[in-house]
Amino acid sequence: MMDLAERYAMPVLTFVDVQGAFPGAAAEERGIAEAIAKSVGLMTRLRTPIVVVITGEGGSGGALGLAVGDVVLALENSIYAVISPEGCATILWRSAEQSQLAAVAMKVTAGEQHELGIVDAVIPEPGEGAHTDPAEMARLIREAVMEQFDALGRIPLDELVEARFQRYRAYGPFAVADRSVVPPERIGIADRLRGLLAGRPTRPAFPGTKRGGSPDREEE
């Protein structure tokens, strides 16, 4: 359908509401990883405007497979994250009960994602939420989407595709550290993630262990 949109010079609009790609064996056997990768690859080079609207939960690869756009909008009460708070808490704190703490550290709300530059604009929801007035919510979404398509339609396709590519290349800035400051001990992926979420280079210890890490870790 995206290929056809490009062929007939039609814009693409996607709505995202998914917890994430199911990581089980059955999904992998049916090619879910390949499907997500193909969709991401196609959307990065599609020569037509793409607007994404996150309507509820934008989770991990399941969301990214439909969220590579020129503009990403999010409803006021939606969330957008690389992993669910429960999954993050299970990895870092060994317990899904710490999901609220994980959600705060991950900055999953639409407003926080807007501040980070991941979401371009937040669409306000009527009343107590989108579910209380679907017709009004649809009108607000339509206005926001049409405004974006009008702006994107004035951009030459070559510039549009290049800007989209650069947008996603710019996510997750990093700095190359001097080799002399690399710690001599092995650091697991969970410890690295927790250190990043804590916003400091040293990795905090898990409950019940010493700050320097588990004593049974071997030196390189």
What confidence tier does 184 reach under pLDDT thresholds 50, 70, 90? Answer: low
Is residue 199's pLDDT more than 70?
no
Indicate if the pLDDT at residue 207 is higher than 70. Answer: no
Strands, DSSP E only, in the chain? Answer: 12-18, 50-59, 71-75, 79-81, 121-123
Q: Residue 53: exposed, middle, or buried by beta-carbon count in 10 A (0-12, 13-18, 19+)?
A: buried
Positive or negative CA dihedral for 123, 124, 127, 128? positive
**Quick check: 52 pLDDT over 80?**
yes
Residue 215 in this model has a pLDDT that exceeds 50: no
Tokens of 216: 């049974």
- The pLDDT-based confidence of 37 (bands split at 50, 70, 90) is very high
**Alpha-carbon distances of 135 from 110, 140, 141, 145, rounded to whole Å:** 21, 9, 10, 15
Residues 6+ apart with CB under 8 A from 98: 89, 92
Q: Give CA–CA dist 130/17, Å, rounded.
A: 13
CATH code, 2-169: 3.90.226.10
What pLDDT score was predicted for residue 203? 47
Most confident of 57-66, 76-85, 97-106, 129-138: 129-138
Question: Looking at the predicted structure, is the pLDDT value of residue 19 above 70?
Answer: yes
The answer to whether residue 216 scores a pLDDT higher than 90 is no
User: Poorest-confidence range of 39-48, 95-104, 119-128?
Assistant: 95-104
Confidence of residue 220 (pLDDT cuts 50, 70, 90): very low
Q: What are the residue ranges spanned by the domains of the chain?
A: 2-169, 175-220
Residue 195 burial (C-beta neighbours within 10 Å; 0-12, 13-18, 19+): middle
pLDDT in tens, 117-168: 999 999 999 999 999 999 999 999 999 999 999 999 999 999 999 999 999 8
Among 24-33, 152-161, 186-195, which stretch is predicted with the lowest mean pLDDT?
A: 186-195
Determine what percent of the chain is predicted with pLDDT higher than 70: 83
